[in-house]
Structure 1
Amino acid sequence: MKTALQAFSALTLAVSLAHTGLAHAQEHQHDTFNLLEQEKANTQIYNAYFPNADIGRKAAISFHGQLLESHYPKGYLVMELNDEEMQKLQVFGFTFAPATEFITKRNQILSKLQTQMLSAQQKSLSMAADVSANNVSISGIPGYSCYATVEETFAVAADMASSKPNLAQWLDIGDSWEKGAGVGGHDLRVLKLTNRSKTGTKPKLFINSAIHAREYTTAALTLDFARQLVDGYGVDADATWILDHHEVHILLMTNPDGRKKAETGLSWRKNANQNYCGAGSNSRGADLNRNFTFGWNSTNGQGSSGSQCNDTYRGPSAGSEPEIKALESYVRSLWPDRRGSGKNDAAPSDTSGIHLDVHSYSELVLWPWGDTSQAAPNGTALQTLGRKFAFFNNYRPQQSIGLYPTDGTSDGISYGELGVPSYTFELGTEFFQSCSTYNNTIKPNNLPALLYAAKVVRTPYITPGGPDISNLSLSNGGSTGVPAGTAVTLSGSASDARFNNSNGTESTQAISAVEYYINQAPWDSGASPTALLPSDGSFNSVSEGFSGTLNTAGLSEGKYLVYVRARDASGTWGAVSASFLVIDNDATQPPANYCSASSGSANYEWIGRVQVGSFNNSSGAATYSDFTGQNISLVRGSNSLTLTPQFSSGAYRQGWRVWIDLNKDGDFDDSGEAVYTSSGTSTSAVSGSFNIASSVASGATRMRVAMRYNATPASPCGSYNYGEVEDYTVVIP
């Protein structure tokens, strides 16, 4: 059920008063009341039973505008359908029944909303004297604190540009329909992120979100991504080099007028253009993702609707909507046209740039074409990058054609017209996704996919075919501070196999080389690499550990970026990952007497993820990983813990134990330092907690996590047959 409807309350009126004044707020409230009444009257909602899950997923693509809920395990979708749409689905074996349960729950919630609104209206006059933008605390869409409103999103972005002008600009690129018509509305704004002190031509990643108003998760994810980059500059090595060398442009609210309608709980998809389907209708507006100029109505009515009240109404002409005019104009300013005019003209392999259009829902990664089943001329490279994105978010990667084609969509301007690779992410499983699902699943799984896009945007048709670097670490406190001349070991993992192969298999090759650069990116003029060595003596597998000693002699005090990349046997260099090396001649070295520990093999299982409180680290196959360069902030009292195994093929039972050197004496042998032990063995993740007593001294110390095949690790030292050991730095307040 669209539970966002349950969240609307009198606070909605207070927010409106604070921003628009009493008279306008009352008018807006009356309009919303009537729109909710219209939605209650809609009974063209059905349980659409599909013959198999593959047909169901394709229907979710072609009939995305009609989709209300998905119940794949139960074999049906909840959809709003007219007779023509039902006939189209019947051809593919769909059967239908009235969605009585959905309609009943919806109407109960809508009636409750209206009652709350009437009650709030009685208080509006007294509230008017007391409500202002300064004394109303607004924290997201009511009931969904993780999703910022349009105004809050704009305020956060504006604050980034104000507080960190060297990294962020908040650009006005046009007006929404309502603003252009003088009936309220919003600016269309892009958040441009890059280190402006680093000049020169930079490759550009463009992301737009919330083009469909009711898709709550989308703008939240892109805003969180912006925060990750800006807040991470100078703290996180990857965020730092990305902003130094690349540009990220984010149109956070592509459809702000429609989004304001959806914030009231309405299932609003389109923009708010009052020229279509009646000025007071909740079916008014155009579907902005059917209004792009390239390929507009190219399927002669199959891929979009010519009916003004339909959720996929394409508008009266190509690019008719001001929101699309602004977006297309901005995109054309980012990239040159590198694709010919023919449908089968491929863009050159060295084309730079990526366009991501972030939607919800269906857990898909999609690429062109969507208006034909024919593969795009750059289809092989698009598929490779799509499978790489899907490795991170675990979504299904596929070409964006469903049961029927779609036309006039966002990939037209970027890929169709300019040749820049374009993708659609379909986040999650609901339009009004719960905050717990967003925070625990959608956000942590998709931020790495967005970060990867920012990494490979220089050559997106080439780089994703190469190996990825993970588990980078520097020994002897190299990431926190060492005197010049200290021997610092750089280690990590390289893998050419990080693809989602749930829909076809991507070819892989053995690792052939790994190299690093200090304070120079590989593409910098005169950049000089240093080779790193395979941990097992030879580079001959698709996944390899590597290490090498950094030469820190003669380095002046300061923070250095260490860039690392790997090449596979086909000669393709993969994405760069980085770590900080800090030279501090006053630094003291941590104790070096911790015992060694590892498994004998990571061919079958290894530690896939360690989560402690809000800390979250995913990693690849290794027998031992040194993550002491990553600090985990603990709390006094109970600390939550989740440990996740990962397997190369079949799942095997694992036992776990965690030690913390609580007295900082360089070992884990003292009483109480085994802080967590799993209850037996399991093939799945284990969760629990451990306690930090008030008597434990503050400061940094080491934590060791051990996972062992078919047994609980008995000792923090030594080796055993299968599994992995990982070390971390924990900070006790």
Structure 2
Amino acid sequence: MTRKAFSCNPGYCLAALLSLAAPALALAQASLPQPTIHGREAAPRQTMRAYFDDVRKARAIAHSRFETLASEYELGYVIVQLNEQEASELRAMGFRLVPDPHWMTQQLEQARKESEARARASQATATGIPNYSCYPTVEEVFTEAEGMAANKPQLASWIDIGDSWAKGAGQGGYDLRVLKLTNSAVSGDKPKLFINAGIHAREYTTTPLVLEFARKLYNGHGVDADATWILDHHEVHLLLATNPDGRKKAESGILWRKNTNTAYCGATSNYRGADLNRNFGFTWNISNGGGSSGNACSETYRGPSAASEPETRAVEAYIRSLWPDRRGPNRTDPAPLDTSGIHLDIHSHGRLLLWPWGSNGAPAGNDTQLATLGRKFAYWNRHTPQRSLDLYETDGTSDGPSYGELGVASFTFELGTAFFQQCSYYNSTVLPDNMPALMYAAKVVRTPYQTPAGPDVTALALNYKRVPQGRPATLVARVDDTRYNQTNGTEPTQTIAAAEAYIDVPPWLSGARAIPLSARDGSFDANNEYVVGQIDTTGLSVGQHLVYVRGQDAAGNWGAFSALFMQVDAPNRTALTSPQKEAQRR
């Protein structure tokens, strides 16, 4: 479901350019050898700015067969590598091309300066990918995930789901491993969120974002109310490195996309391998060459047959183990609205939020519900939400086994503005913008085709952080039905109609008791409202309790839960302290 981009050849590897002075770049590119494709020399390529007058055209070429290095939409151009024929095509499409031969050295120099500044500030031994220390290596990712499982086996397990191509071929390589997060002390059939990252090796931001999401849940259990109830009642499955062999190549500064299978395009070629995100079986080669390539040296080479690659087969088998099949055999058959589960495939770059289908025209049977959830995700990360096919055609993508076969809600996130994203942009934008979207996915995974149509709960607070048993506590929250990205299509919003709270037992479990909340201004008549209610602590045990809150809109849609902790103390043992005064004490 993602786009064509570019691989490194000997004249364009960022690692090689590290030692080149900018004035010598053009000479270096001209003098180094070019790759051979099917027995002929590849046409020389230039790095250029492609200025546009319509951002939709820019997004289209940024995710197609043109080799796009960066998407600087706000500046009015994208950075592309083009041969003469491709340059002619873009000019005919209305793009104005300006050579930018120093772009790559400038990017690497900026990364080097940032890395040195971070090292000086922390006075710590450098870790992570060279010049990009905010991005851990494959080994560092695996070590941290293994440590989570070892230190808190009740919350985390580190599951071997198969081998990479190189490992299966006896050429080193890696296990494919899923970090499963859930509180195993809480039993029951739990809805499942599956996220895979790094299927395209050079997309640096994807694996660290998902690893940070794992940290947030793992470290937040028992500390943060939302992280606690998510892990108590849901399962989160994280394939942190879907293409570890390719990722290892990319860590050296090579803009590597595919796996490393030496059977395709020559055993030593930097163009070798299959594009794993064109190799899945459900829609493999369905577009007759329009959504993938049969050229083994192409960046979108789909492989010789459906699911030919061991990484693809491992992912397909794991997805099928998570969810039952709830969708009919026809392309337009919808899954039932109560279908649970979400699959997210995390990519870069382009700041897009995509849902099926990516081929053959007709919208998916659940297109309306997918659009609603997509616009909710895009509210936080400010990506453009759209059906994948509205961008360009793809086939053999990772949503095939999840949505195509089983009917599970599936999305692609395209993060940021570049493959080798600067750490400053990752930390200031990619990470804070996308973490709430991932948390929202974990909240609504029980009913992703229903809950996103309802309002969100924010500004959740109690009048006292600690309250003596028997003393009522006042709960206040904001319920908001407007939190959608409306930049591409329109999501309907309604007035708030109701809100309710639950103490310790959510409504999907027996014994749950709803506490109605009222509009603070006396009337539910707006699409966002402050609500208020009293919590009777008389029957609550001494200790920490979890308070769930949700809202309903006038169309009858109940939205996602948000939660907070309430500490109940023994009677007459606690001086009532407001959250503000408690903060001042500290």
TM-score range, shorter chain: 0.7 to 0.9
Closer, same or farther: CA 37–207 of 1 in aligned 2, 3 Å: farther
User: Given the alignment of the two structures, is residue 400 of structure 1 paired with residue 388 of structure 2, yes or no?
Assistant: yes
Pairwise CA distance, 1:388? 0.2
Aligned residue pairs total: 545
Secondary structure of the 1:230 match is: helix
Aligned-residue offset at 1:391: 0.7
**CA deviation string 1:32-79 (max 9, x = no partner):** xxxx9768x98423433434111111222334x722122324433222
* Structure 2 counterpart of 1:12: none
- After superposition, the C-alpha distances for 1:656-706 in whole angstroms (9 at most, x for unaligned) are xxxxxxxxxxxxxxxxxxxxxxxxxxxxxxxxxxxxxxxxxxxxx56xxxx
Matching of residue 566 in structure 1 with residue 551 in structure 2: yes
1:424–1:730 Cα change, 3 Å: farther
In structure 1, distance between residues paired with 2:425 and 2:169: 38
The residue aligned with 2:76 is 75
Matches within 5 A, 1:273-312: 273-312=261-300
2: CA distance, partners of 1:174 / 1:6: 33
Offset of residue 7 of structure 1: 11
**Alpha-carbon distance between aligned partners in 2 of 1:373 and 1:309, rounded to the nearest angstrom:** 28
> Once the 2 structures are TM-superposed, how far is the Cα of residue 572 of structure 1 from its aligned partner?
1.1
Provide the residue aligned with 2:67 in structure 1: 66
Q: Distance in 2 between matches of 1:484 and 1:107?
A: 60
Match of 1:556 in 2: 541
- Please name the residue that 1:251 is paired with: 239
Q: Are 1:511 and 2:499 counterparts?
A: no
Q: 1:589 aligns with which of 571, 575, 586?
A: 575
Q: Contact 1:7/1:143 (CA < 8 Å) preserved in 2?
A: no
Sort the Cα spacing of 1:338 and 1:82 in 2 relative to 1 into closer, same or farther, 3 A. Answer: farther
Assess if the C-alpha contact under 8 Å between 1:173 and 1:189 holds in 2. yes
1:554/1:342 CA distance change after superposition, 3 Å: closer
2:164 to 164, 176, 180: 176
The aligned counterpart of 1:159 is 147
The one-letter code of the counterpart of 1:540 is: D
- Determine if the alignment matches structure 1 residue 489 to structure 2 residue 500: no
SS of residue paired to 2:389: coil
The aligned counterpart of 2:120 is none
Q: 2:320 aligns with which of 332, 349, 352?
A: 332
SS at match of 1:258: helix
Q: For residues 294-443 of structure 1, what are the structure 2 equivalents within 5 Å?
A: 294-402=282-390, 404-443=392-431
Partner of 1:24: none
Query: Offset at 1:587?
Result: 5.2
Task: Report the Cα offset of residue 423 of structure 1.
Answer: 0.4
Pairwise CA distance, 1:526? 3.0
Q: Structure 2 counterpart of 1:290, which letter?
A: R
**Larger displacement relative to structure 2 (220-229 or 43-52):** 43-52
The structure with the greater share of residues assigned to strand is 1
Q: How many Å apart are 1:138 and its aligned residue?
A: 5.6
**1:193-208 correspondence runs (5 A):** 193-208=181-196
Question: Compared with structure 1, are the counterparts of its residues 147 and 104 closer, same or farther at alpha carbon in structure 2 (3 Å cutoff)?
Answer: closer
Residue type at the aligned position of 1:59? I
**Alignment counterpart, residue 56 of structure 1, candidates 50, 55, 58:** 58
Partner letter of residue 145 of structure 2?
A: A
Instruction: Write the letter of the residue equivalent to 2:64.
Output: S
Deviation at residue 87 of structure 1 after TM alignment:
6.7
Higher relative contact order (CA 8 A, sep 6+): 2
Question: CA separation in 2, counterparts of 1:462 and 1:107?
Answer: 45
- Aligned match of 2:206 in 179, 201, 218? 218
In structure 1, stretches of 5+ residues that fail to align are 10-35, 113-135, 593-627, 630-700, 703-728
Rounded to whole Å, the distance in 1 between the matches of 2:172 and 2:577 is: 63
Task: Decide whether aligned partners of structure 1 residues 171 and 482 sit closer, same or farther in structure 2, where only a CA change above 3 A counts.
Answer: same
Deviation at 1:214, TM superposition (A): 0.7
CA shift at 1:108, angstroms? 9.8
5+ residue gaps in structure 2? 1-7, 20-31, 36-41, 113-123
Helix, strand or coil at the partner of 2:411: strand
Select between 452-461 and 546-555 the one with higher mean Cα deviation: 546-555
- Name the amino acid aligned to 2:274: A
Does the CA-based 8 Å contact 2:44-2:83 persist in structure 1? no
Which amino acid is 1:67 matched to? T
Match of 1:269 among 251, 257, 260: 257
Aligned residue for 2:22? none
Partner Cα distance (2:322, 2:293) in 1? 30
**Matched residue of 2:102: which SS?**
helix
Q: Where do 1:97-246 residues align within 5 Å?
A: 98-102=99-103, 139-246=127-234
- Give the 3 Å change call, closer, same or farther, for CA 430–160 of structure 1 in structure 2: same
Q: Please say if residues 167 and 173 of structure 2, whose CA atoms lie closer than 8 Å, have aligned partners that are also in contact.
A: yes
Work out whether residues 45 and 103 of structure 1, in 8 Å CA contact, stay in contact via their aligned partners in 2.
no
Q: 1:216 to 1:252 in 2, by over 3 A?
A: same
For residues 78 and 165 of structure 2, the distance between their equivalents in structure 1, rounded to whole angstroms, comes to: 32
Task: Measure how far apart 1:289 and its partner are.
Answer: 0.8
Once superposed, what is the RMSD of the aligned Cα atoms? 2.7
Secondary structure of 1:440 counterpart: helix
Q: Percent identity?
A: 57
Contact 1:61 1:401 in 2 (8 A): no
Deviates more, 1:403-412 or 1:151-160: 403-412
SS in 2 for 1:482: strand
Cα 1:159–1:568 shift into 2, 3 Å: same
State the one-letter code of the partner of 1:510.
T
Paired with 1:85 and 1:156, the residues of 2 have a C-alpha distance of: 43
d(CA) in 1 for partners of 2:585, 2:436: 25
1:44 aligns with 2:57: no
For each residue in 1:452-511, what CA deviation from the matched residue of structure 2 results, as whole angstroms up to 9, or x when unmatched?
00000011000000011111111122xxx3221222111110011110101121101111
Question: CA distance change for structure 1 residues 99 and 290 in 2, over 3 Å: closer, same or farther?
Answer: farther
Distance 1:498 1:106 in 2: 35
Alpha-carbon displacement from aligned partner over 1:233-285 (angstroms, at most 9, x marks no partner): 00000000001110000000000000001111111111111111111111111
Contact 1:368 1:400 in 2 (8 A): yes
